[in-house]
Amino acid sequence: MSYCQLTDLQNVMLNDTLIALTDDEGLGQVNTDRINECIAEGDSLIDGYCGARYVVPFSQAPVVVRSISVALAIHNLYARRGWKRSPRCTRTVTRTPCSGLRTYQTAR
């Protein structure tokens, strides 16, 4: 089970942006398969960090894990387009989760 869903991304991104980031075919709609791939990629990173200390995947993920999953999915959506400069808020958000994940990995 994914740590976030399309609806979580829709809560923080405009639908037009999601279409621009996923609609390679020009159909004018969000490609949910691509969304799910980007979510899964981020969730794998979360599991990689957290697996050093916790049993993963989480059966019931903490709220912070959902937030990190959303941030990583957004980063992955921009990265798959080859956009080296995603919006400032996205760059800031993706740095923070990785630092937070390192904290979870080494927490004592």
In a domain, 66, yes or no: yes
What was the pLDDT predicted at 94?
57
In a domain, 1, yes or no: no
**pLDDT per residue as tens digits for the range 67-87:** 889 989 998 998 888 866 556
**pLDDT per residue as tens digits for the range 14-58:** 999 999 999 999 999 999 999 999 999 999 999 998 888 889 999
In a domain, 10, yes or no: yes
Between residues 76 and 93, which one has the greater pLDDT? Answer: 76
Q: Can you spell out the DSSP letters for the chain? A: --SS-HHHHHTTS-HHHHHHHH-TT--SS--HHHHHHHHHHHHHHHHHHHTTTS-SS-SS--HHHHHHHHHHHHHHHHHHTT-SS--HHHHHHHHHHHHHHHHHHH--
Domain tally for the chain? 1
Domain limits at 21?
6-106
Q: CA 21 to CA 37: how far, in whole Å?
A: 13
Q: CA 85 to CA 79: how far, in whole Å?
A: 9
What was the pLDDT predicted at 99?
61
